[in-house]
Amino acid sequence: MGIRFFSQLCTQRYEMIGELLCQEQHDIALLQEVWSERDFLFLKRKLSSSHPYTHYFKSGVIGSGLAVFSRHRIQDALLYQYSLNGYPYMLRHGDWFGGKAVGLVIVDVSGLKAHVYVTHLHAEYSRAQDEYLSHRTVQSWELLQFVRHTSCGADLVVLGGDLNMHPQDLGNRLLRSHTGLRDCYTETDTFDGCEDGHTLIADNHFTKKQDLVPFEKGIRIDYILMKGSQRVTMKCESLSTTKGPVADKPFPYSDHEALTAEFALLHSEDTLAVSEQMEVVAEARALVKEGLCQTEALRDKAMHLMFGALLLLLLPLAMAFLPCSCSCSFSTLGLLGAVCMVLLLSGALLYLLFTTHIKVLKETEDQMMLTSNDLQTKLTGCQLSGSSSLDGSPEIQPLSPFKREE
């Protein structure tokens, strides 16, 4: 998608996206990076017949960019904004201003209660030196906690969005192992799309080549994840992606390829092994602890900057009371004092920022510890119920088709 007046051909691409959604008639469409409410309202008007039920999630300075368009009535909606989302002083990245979040809509699908989530995590600007890795891990943890605690009464669960993580990245494994969500790309019966399911490819007019280094062919960072319940299991019958250029159009819909999944609703559900959950949460705790140490070091530097500026501030104050023979003019002393005040204020603001981040990292690490202890109890306690399947289970029959697009 894009930001009006900053992204290329923004108006024309929203027109194309509206035409595509009207034509394809998906049950639910989940969009990210709809940064302007004006663009959302345009799509809402254009899709009023095909997708009469909509919700736009608002957060941050410019908004979360998350929007839902549905053929089914939206019964309820909930937004959770991630605690960590980059730094306000990193203007060239801008994630902090976007208010990255996860949105939930509850819809009725053929009498079944569907919890549908849409999210967008912090971008990875450098694979080799990812300064936001701990932030994205915290976001993954908060996302899985949000899904776990809000999907208990759901018959089926779908999560779609730009996770900005490769399939085997820690945050991705953490999310899947602790929610039971399954990746449609690895589960689907039929796939039609870019090689290896890539959603950011070189053969796209809007793709910046530096974003793919060192993966020149492309990367898979956009996902549709699914999970059923004791009542219903979801099966992904087909998954497809757009493939860069659009026929009869001079440019693609977006810099990311769109995902479309078609589901069948079935009758059984498997659970993930507790040992796998323990391994991945332990790895996540170690990474969050590392991020905590790095942030504490940054806070210490901010504190040193603050104290250093305070000491320097005493210098012009002392020089101001020296005899007139002092060669420094009052204008020079005033300039030196102003510089010291700026450094002092900058140090104080950075100290507050990093202190807030430390609290979030510590809270996440504490929650992970509780989860790890609970899993350890399950692993060493009684035999887990439901770990083996019974013979003579009823034949699996599909209930109804269900399609959605990211």
Higher pLDDT, 337 or 55: 55
Query: Position of tokens 């994630």?
Result: 95
pTM for this entry: 0.77
Between residues 400 and 338, the one the model is more confident about: 338
Helix (H) or strand (E) holding 355: helix 330-380
d(CA 143, CA 82): 8
pLDDT per residue as tens digits for the range 158-210: 999 999 999 999 999 999 999 999 999 999 999 999 999 999 998 887 877 77
Model pLDDT, residue 9: 79
**Stretch (H or E) spanning 66:** strand 66-70
DSSP 95-156: HHHHT-EEEEEEEEETTEEEEEEEEEPPP-S-SSS-TTHHHHHHHHHHHHHHHHHH-TT-SE
**Is 223 in contact with 183 (CB distance < 8 Å)?**
yes
Percent of the chain with pLDDT over 90: 58
CB 105 within 8 A of CB 74: yes
Other CB atoms within 10 A of residue 171 CB: 24
How far apart CA 171 and CA 182 sit, in angstroms, is 14
What mean pLDDT value characterizes the chain? 86
Q: Are 98 and 65 in contact (CB under 8 A)?
A: yes
SS3 180: coil
Q: How many other CB atoms sit within 10 Å of the CB of residue 104?
A: 24
**Given a cut of 80, is residue 5 above it in pLDDT?**
no
The per-residue pLDDT for range 146-172, each reduced to its tens digit, is 999 999 989 999 999 999 999 999 999
Q: Kindly state the tokens that stand for 46.
A: 């254009």
pLDDT of residue 304: 93
3-class DSSP string for 248-304? CCCCCCCCCCCEEEEEEEECCCCCCCHHHHHHHHHHHHHHHHHHHHHHHHHHHHHHH
Instruction: Give pLDDT tens digits for 264-303.
Output: 987 654 455 678 888 999 999 999 999 999 999 999 999 9
CB-neighbour burial class of residue 279 (10 A; exposed 0-12, middle 13-18, buried 19+): middle
Contacts of 34 (CB under 8 A, 6+ apart): 1, 40, 43, 56, 63, 65, 66, 67
- Per-residue pLDDT reduced to its tens digit, 69-116: 999 999 999 999 999 999 998 888 888 888 899 999 999 998 899 999
> Catalytic: which of 256, 267, 304, 357?
256
Active-site residue flag, 256: yes
Task: Work out the number of other CB atoms within 10 angstroms of the CB of residue 246.
Answer: 15
Nearest CA-CA partner of 121 in 106, 108, 138: 138
